[in-house]
Structure 1
């Protein structure tokens, strides 16, 4: 999902994640209805608002442990590969408030990639990342796209060139 700043990408992700209530209709993920089972719904959908300060006092390792408890299908091996691929080992002992914007983003990307959530929502994943991390993330997203076992919605200003087929939805809709 692509669009300029302020067109509603983050709001739409928050709505799909169940953080905002729909004005009409209903939200369902992996057979779980948000209205009937809000906690169950949130376990089916991965989303972290990159502006969130909710876990700031928690060390990086504690954040990933909490993610593993919240998303029981989290793949520990993939998580370790992501921590290594993003070069986060040296930062896991630090509280999130001490991490740079890029390192915070890498931490939640590790959780997103490994969560096993049937629906994964990622807001501006390439923002504040260094070049090696961008390459690693592109590879991870391309692998996820070809696996076809989870639904991914990535919001950014421009489409990411992953080298695999992916639909692009523009907000607001573009002609043609």
Structure 2
């Protein structure tokens, strides 16, 4: 594993792991410079973190969420978004407001948009929470396919590092 200094991140997959309350989310927000504010209003297009529950966006449809992300992220990949919409089975939900969606579907909307931003650093906060096994497989396969990317980093925060992924670095929070 590559050493990290001054919050520099290696390209590829980085895990941030720790128990409840150890600061995983705070760490991701600090990495992206998004320490407060509504989820889409303070977005940094080079380092993206999103609260996957998409708070305060109940009256928006998935397309409205993605349109906002697209306008703020210059490397937006519409073809990748479409692939993710199909793989995550989001088509039946595209005309619904987020308030009508289950927790898992709402998180899939956020994940699809987050991955389509094509940011240099993409932070995923407990990406498997509330997802069905098929959707977990889609996210895991995406991360596996991009694990060796030479210039982009995916930082995944969770209680444990997914054993099925080739981590470049693991940051353990709260360990003595």
Name structure 1 gaps, 5 residues minimum. Answer: 22-38
Q: Is the 8 A contact 2:53 2:110 kept in 1?
A: no
TM-score (normalizing by structure 2): 0.82
Partner of 1:169: 171
Whether 1:14 and 2:29 are equivalent positions in the alignment is yes
Q: How many residues align?
A: 157
Partner of 1:101: 103
Match of 1:113 among 109, 112, 115: 115
Higher RCO (CA-CA < 8 Å; seq separation 6+): 2
Structure that is richer in helix per residue: 1
Partner of 1:35: none
1:95 to 1:128, Cα distance in 2 relative to 1, 3 A: same
TM-score (normalizing by structure 1): 0.82
Structure 1 residue ranges (4+ consecutive) displaced by more than 4 angstroms after TM superposition: none
Q: Is the 8 A contact 1:141 1:162 kept in 2?
A: no
Equivalent runs, 1:22-101 vs 2, <5 Å = 42-101=44-103
Name structure 2 gaps, 5 residues minimum. Answer: 1-15
Name the SS of the counterpart of 1:14 in structure 2.
Answer: helix
- Aligned-residue Cα RMSD (Å) equals 1.9
Name the SS of the counterpart of 1:133 in structure 2.
Answer: helix
1:19 to 1:100, Cα distance in 2 relative to 1, 3 A: same
